[in-house]
Structures are given as structure tokens and as C-alpha cells.
Amino acid sequence: MGLAGERGAAVVALAVAAPGSGDARTVEVQVDPSADLPLLPEALLPVLNVVPVRRQFFPDGSGGRISLPVAVVGIAACGRQATTLCAFAGPERAAALGLRGLQALGLEVNAAGDGLVPTVPG
């Protein structure tokens, strides 16, 4: 699992901020539980004043691999918030909320596949 994978139908507004900062930016993301980390626009890194902790390789969807910066950020959606690792890519890649982000927020895709529901009490 990585960046490759079929995108789900659900789209949510994801607030993203540097850990401990109240200055968040909102990004529309496709929910993709087949992806590992959330994938966010790389342009957010300087805006949020977030420094990547490492680079990580992910499948690129065509049999190759792509190296992307990974950083710790705060995320919030559906009235829940968490701190998690996120990958950052250029505008050629769609922003997505992957499995680790869903798990961190205690959310999963609903039975219809068009929204999110809590996995644990909020």
C-alpha cells in the first residue's frame, strides 16, 4: 500500500496544521483507505511552517516508486482531531486521506462508501 490505489467516492474537508498550532488550512481530500499515509499538497509545508522528518518511497501507480517528503502534522475532520504522519506531493497527485489518517481520527468509510463514520466514540 502507498499512494497507488483506487480512490473512494467520499470527499471530506481536512484541516491541517503544524502540531500544537491553531493556524490550520483546509484541504478537500478524497478518502482512500487503500492508501497508507494521508497525501497532502507539498505547497502546504512552508505555509504551515512544517519541516519533513524524512523522505519515503511509495508506489507511483505505474509500477515505479516515488520519493516524497513525510512530516508530522495535526489533522481534523468530522469533529475529530489527531496528529499523524502525512506524505506531501506536487499538484499532479490528488490529496487523499489514507488508512493511517482514518485510523488516527477514529473514522472509517460508511457502508455506502460516500461518507465517514466513527469507529470509536468521539
Domains of the chain: 11-107 (2.40.70.10)
Q: Is the pLDDT of residue 1 over 60?
A: no
Quick one: pLDDT at residue 9? 61
pLDDT digits (tens, 9 = 90+) for 19-74: 988 899 999 999 999 889 999 999 999 999 999 999 999 988 899 999 999 999 99
Q: Quote the DSSP letter at residue 8.
A: P
- Whether the model clears a pTM of 0.85, i.e. scores above it, the answer is yes
